[in-house]
Structure 1
Amino acid sequence: MDALISLLPPLAAVVLALATRRVNVSLFVSIWLGGWLVAGNPIAAVGQTFDWFAEVMTDEWNARFLVLVALLGAGAAFMHRTGGSQALAHALSKRIHSGRASLLFTWVLGVVIFFNDYVNSVIVGNATRDLTARQRQSREKLAWVMDATSAPMATLGPVSDWIGYQVSLIAGALVGLSFSSAEPYRLFLQSIPWNFYALLCLASVPMILLAGDFGPMAQAQRRAAETGELVAPGDTPLSNVDADLGEVPEGRGRLWHFVLPLVVLISVACWGLWYTGGGAEGATVIDALADTDVSVALSWAAFAMVVTGMSMALLQRQSLKDCEETLLAGFRTMLPALAIMVLAWSIGTVTGALDTGEHVINVTRDWLSPALLPLLIFLIAMVISFATGSSWGAMAILTPIGVPLAFELSGGDMTLVSMAIGAIFSGSIFGDHCSPISDTTVMASIFAGSDHIAHVRTQIPYALIPAIVSALLYVASMVIESVWLLLAAGLVVQFGVIMVLGRSGKSSDSG
């Protein structure tokens, strides 16, 4: 009963958001509901709600992240005002002549930018938004491709702040266990093949591009192709840089006006992640990523990007007044996203106050067995990450419990430990993808220029396929020991399902 009560606020947020399409109102109501559960009456719940708002906004990491998002918006604004985005779209349009090719390019770029999911969203969104628009690809489809590559690639690597975080969790979970031979990073590498959802999700993008769309996404794509409406009537994109900043004179910018700010962003981000993690004091790359301060490093990078963009605008003889207007306009484009971020973090505070993660674990603890452990961990991670909107939060809750449990149930078999780690990361990413209160999902909506609820609604059917196949693979692992055979079978099954659904979508179009 406690588990059900603790899940009420996040579930209410999801149901209301999908039903009303008003994500801010839905989140506020669900936070107030959580305040009612904590404070005991609806009047005191109002005060508790605003206490939570103050708590999340004054948190050091959260405050830096709000500044980071605002700076990224300003950097994107300068890329637009200097003509860099326009120049990139022109350059790519000469080589990419179909909607499928434009989305495949988006996927490839998302795979290449693997070191941070936020930076991935900025780069991929700004590089492909105009390109996909020219090919009449809906904003929902672009947001899905971006979301399906950013977090899965960051969690798989080869090097990212996600991996540093995950390795640090594994290292913490190993403390106190009766063996000394296991290395956290090696265990992480061994868990990668068992991270079924991340691998299958990445593979699902080219599969769906080949087979065709289905469900709500097919409707969105049909609307964009037939009417040119990239966003459905009545929908409100979280950010629309082009509309907010106005048109840029044709031929103002060159390709380097787009490339240089991104090179600066990537370079400073990589250096910052290394430096804040102790790289200058001799720490290895992996150790530095494990101890890095992501918010500080990325804030430096975003600021450097803005300074670069402003410098290029001044070199174009844009006035200081124009630069200031661009800066403020970039901040304004991020305001809806910043509001959602604060509300989503507050929901996370609610679930913490109600001990949602612990209650979910306690309900299922008695069912666990070595054979069922990976599947149950996967399902629990899905629930926690969906309810909290945080894959990192779900990983932090489950890794210290799942790793020792797998070690004890298996009698020290490190294969089961690797499976458990892969299942934790796998389920965490799925819930993060499908939750409307997830920061990575919000970032995909921002930089794709998509209505947030439309992105979530169209993405869920596409995320469910690799999730269901992943669950089946964890079941099959009870009788099939080879992870590579399981992965191969999973890819075949997933492609077959996508082909069938894609053909049904085409049939409904023709009908």
Structure 2
Amino acid sequence: MDLIISLTPPLAAVVLALATRRVNLSLFASIWIGAWFVAGDPISAVGQTFDWFADVMTDEWNARFLVLVSLLGAGAAFMYRTGGSHAVSRWLAARVASGRSSQLLTWLLGLIIFFNDYVNSVIVGNATRDLTARHRVSREKLAYLLDSTSAPMATLGPVSDWIGYQVSLIAAAFTTLSLTTEKPYLAFLQSIPWNFYALLCLLAVPTIIMCGDFGPMRTAEKRARQTGDLVAPGDTPLSSVEDDLGEPDTERGRLWHFILPLIVLLGVACWALWYTGGGAEGKPLMDALADTDVSVALSWAAFAMVVTAMGLSLAQRHTLEDCEQTLLAGFRTMLPALVIMVLAWTIGTVTGALDTGDHVIAATRDWLSPGLLPMLIFAIGMVISFATGSSWGAMAILTPVAVPLAYNVGDLGLVHMAIGAIFSGSIFGDHCSPISDTTVMSSIFAGSDHIAHVRTQIPYAMVPAAVSALLYLASMGVDSPWLLLAAGALLQTGVIWTLGRMGARD
């Protein structure tokens, strides 16, 4: 019964959001339901709900992240108003001849920007939004392309703040087990081939582009090609740069108005991630990334980006008043997303108060077996991350339990499999949940309606998720992750090809 109660608020948020397409109201209702469970009556639940809102908004990390997202919106606004985004689009348009090519370019850029998922969405979204629009690629498809590369690439690396975080969790679990001779970073590297979902998800993107769309995404792409409506009638993008910011300076806009702010963003972000983790004090790179303060580092980078972009705007002889208006307009474009993020974080508080993660683990722990362990860890990670909207939260819940469990019932080989399964399941939920900040960021910088993005993406994500589950089951008899991945890639390609052909006949 405790398991059902603890899962009710987050699942209610997902179901209501998909059914009503009103994500803010759905999130608020689910938070109130959770508060009712905690407070005991519906009236006291109202007070508990707003207490949670206050706690979430005054949390230091959350507050910095709200500032970070606002600054990223302002930086993107300056790149648009100075004509930099249009200059990039014109430059790419001369070299990209089709909608398929524009989608493949988006995927390739997503693979290159691997060190942070938020920065990935900002850079790739701004670089390809106008280009894909020229070729009538729907906003839902662009959001899928952004979302399907950002988190999977951040968790695989080779260097990212995600990896630092993941290695720190592994190190803590090894300390609990007194495995002082084992290297946490080496264990992470050995777990990469077992991170089936992330690897298959990255492979699924070009496969879908080449083999054809299916499900709700096919409807969205057909609409965009035939009518030119990149967003479905009645849908509301989380952010519409064109409507919010007005006309750009296309006459004086040049490539460096886009590229220079991004170089500053990337450069300062890399340095700040290293510096805030103690790199300047002599820590090794991965140790510094494990201890870094992501919110501080990326806030510095975003601020540097805004200052640079504003300087370029002033160099174009835009007035200080124009710059101030662009700055505020950039903040406004992020407002719907900021509201969703506060509500989503509060759902995380609700699941914490109801011990959702502990109840899910307790419901399955007693009947786990070594052979089934990786698949069950993957499934539990999917449930926790989808319900909470947080891959990092799911990793934090699962790693201290699953790693010792794998070691006690198996060996280090099973530990590496378990680590890969933890990260796979955690990424799935973060990738698909409407209350995930990564999913929200993809909707923002693609200019997509958020629920439309979630609704069209889930069927695509279910294909690598289902194949991954089969591979974890097959690992009971096959020791080689590379052999399993090869078989999974063939199976996934066949499934996508078949679904694409079936969709083409509709």
Deviation at 1:179, TM superposition (A): 3.4
Shift of 1:336: 0.1
Per the alignment, residue 224 of structure 2 pairs with 224
Match of 1:248 in 2: 248
- State whether structure 2 residue 71 is matched by structure 1 residue 78: no
User: Are the equivalent residues in 1 in contact too, given 2:148–2:202 (CA < 8 A)?
Assistant: yes
How far apart in 1 are the matches of 2:253 and 2:85?
8
Contact 1:87 1:251 in 2 (8 A): no
Determine the C-alpha separation between the residues in 2 that align with 1:250 and 1:209.
31
In 2, the alpha carbon distance for the partners of 1:38 and 1:239 equals 35
1:276–1:297 CA contact under 8 A, matched in 2: yes
Which letter does structure 1 place at the counterpart of 2:438? T
| SS of corresponding position for 2:505 | helix
Task: Specify the alignment match of 1:429 in structure 2.
Answer: 427
Aligned match of 1:388: 388
The code of the aligned residue for 2:87 comes to A
Instruction: Indicate whether 1:173 and 2:173 are aligned.
Output: yes
Instruction: For 1:176 and 1:142, locate their aligned partners in 2 and report how far apart those are by CA, in whole Å.
Output: 43
Rounded Cα–Cα distance in structure 2 between residues aligned with 1:198 and 1:303? 31
User: 1:185-216 deviations in whole A, cap 9, x for unaligned?
Assistant: 00000000000000000000000001000000
AA of the residue aligned to 1:476: A
2:120 equivalent in structure 1: 120
What whole-Å deviation, never above 9, does each CA across 1:362-390 have from its counterpart, x for those lacking one?
A: 00011111111001100000000000000
- Aligned partner of 2:480 in structure 1 is 482
**Cα deviations by residue, 1:41-72 (Å, 9 ceiling, x for unpaired):** 00000000000000000000000000000000
Q: Which residue of 2 aligns with 1:500?
A: 498
Query: Aligned AA for 1:444?
Result: S
1:25-49 CA-to-partner distances (Å, cap 9, x unmatched) read 0000000000000000000000000
User: Which residue in the other structure is 2:489 paired with?
Assistant: 491
Deviation at 1:178, TM superposition (A): 4.4
SS of the residue corresponding to residue 91 of structure 2 reads helix
Partner of 1:323 in structure 2? 323
Q: Which residue of 1 aligns with 2:367?
A: 367
Q: TM-score, normalised by structure 1?
A: 0.99
- 1:25-64 matches, within 5 Å, as 25-64=25-64
Give the Cα separation in 2 of the matches to 1:346 and 1:427: 22
Q: Which residue of 2 aligns with 1:453?
A: 451
Letter in 1 for 2:323: C
- Offset from partner CA, 1:453-493 (integer Å, 9 cap, x none): 00000000000000000000000000111111100000000
Structure 1 runs (4+) deviating above 4 angstroms are none
Counterpart amino acid of 1:174? F
Number of residue pairs the alignment of both structures matches: 506
Q: Which letter maps to 1:434?
A: C
Partner residue of 2:343?
A: 343
Aligned identity (percent) is 76
| 1:176 CA drift (Å) | 3.0
Structure 1: 5+ residue runs without aligned partners?
none
Whole-angstrom CA distance in 2 between matches of 1:212 and 1:460: 16
Deviation at 1:292, TM superposition (A): 0.1
**C-alpha RMSD of matched pairs (Å):** 0.6
Correspondence 1:272 to 2:277: no
User: Which residue is 1:238 aligned to?
Assistant: 238
Task: Give the drift of 1:431.
Answer: 1.1
Match of 1:414 in 2: 412
User: Of the candidates 429, 437, 442, which is equivalent to residue 444 of structure 1?
Assistant: 442
The alpha carbon displacement at 1:432 in A equals 1.1
Is residue 107 of structure 2 the alignment partner of residue 107 of structure 1?
yes
* TM-score scaled by length of structure 2: 0.99
Q: Which amino acid aligns with 1:251?
A: E
Structure 2 contact 430–439 (Cα < 8 Å) conserved: yes
CA distance in 1, matches of 2:304, 2:483: 46
